[in-house]
Amino acid sequence: MFNLPETSFNFGGDEYIYAEISRDMRVESNFKALAITEEVRKRNIPGIIDVVSSNASYLVRYNPDVISARDLLVYLKEIDLTKSDPARLHLPVRIVEIPTWYDDPVTQEYSRRFQNRHPEPGLSNFEYVMKVNGFTDKEAFIERHSQTPYLITMVGFLPGTAWHFPLSHHQNNIIQSPKYDSPRTDTPERAIGLGGAFNVIYPVNGPGSYQLIGRSAVPVVDPTKRLADLMETSFLARPGDIWKYRPITEQEYNQIKVETEEGGYRYKMKNIMLSPLEYLEKGETYIRELMEDF
């Protein structure tokens, strides 16, 4: 029998309760955080202003004039108990394809521009990530990275930024990398970065310290709402969704970019019901089943 990690609760001033499910990043902790925050929203408890899930925790902001901290804590502990059995959790999420130009000239140029901040200035970011993960063949690296599905565990930093973690039970298959020694002052929008085991797509130009390994052909944020799939919120990322990278050529990258600029691009998506219990019990077999026909 599997049980999800036990949560510890802490007060943050007069308006926040911070719930920590685990200190380290664990996929099952994220499943629990997603399930709890969704349930809190559904209950519409008077006094709650906002609830946000993170990698292995969640934060609740409340109005102490409407609900006391102690009463709210009773609610949260009761919800926490109902979400500790993975057999009772089913998360409606999407699988989303990210067409990607790996080792593109723009991220190569940014590698050169900020090489004085890098742990190995003589290597591009892409070459560095290959080296620290033991790859000598570029295509083998791209295949490994693109074959792994990534779970969006948190959204934040810049609006639309999705932190996504590899869905894999085999640690040897997880690509990881140290960050820059000192952050870049600029990063190209749609650049794909890697820091530790986390991946991120920079939604707009801005600072960053993750290693740049390629560029998404599609935006992850669209304030103009010209793309049909982003009209509802302007943001592609949803906590709990699974992103899957697909390697593309320069020609296909440019073609897709034109489609997005003209507003005609449609994201490849698949709605699924994610089962934490099956993930824990079946491991890689369950991950392969999720990715069938995608």
* Res 170 pLDDT > 80: no
What is the model's pLDDT at position 217? Answer: 97
Type of residue numbered 120 = E
State pLDDT tens for residues 234-288: 999 999 999 999 999 999 999 999 999 999 999 999 999 999 889 888 989 999 9
Architecture of domain 8-86: 2-Layer Sandwich (3.30)
For residues 38-56, give the mean pLDDT: 93
pLDDT in tens, 152-166: 999 988 888 999 999
Q: What is the pTM of this model?
A: 0.91
Residue type, 42: K
Question: Phi and psi at residue 187, in whole multiples of 5°?
Answer: -145, 135
Task: Label the pairing between strands 269-274 and 162-166.
Answer: unpaired
CATH number assigned to the domain with residue range 92-290, chosen from the 4 options 3.40.50.720, 2.40.100.10, 2.40.40.20, 2.60.120.260: 2.40.100.10
Q: How many CB atoms lie within 10 A of CB 233?
A: 12
In tens, the pLDDT along 184-200 reads: 999 999 999 999 999 99
Q: What stretch(es) of the chain map to CATH 2.40.100.10?
A: 92-290
Quick: pLDDT tens for 113-147. 999 999 999 999 999 999 999 999 999 999 999 99
Angle at 5 between CA 2 and CA 10, to 5 degrees: 160
Q: Which residues, other chains included, contact 174 with Cβ-Cβ below 8 Å and sequence gap of 6+?
A: 148, 166, 168, 197
- pLDDT tens for each residue of 94-108: 999 999 999 999 999
- Sign of the alpha-carbon torsion through 170, 172, 175, 177: positive
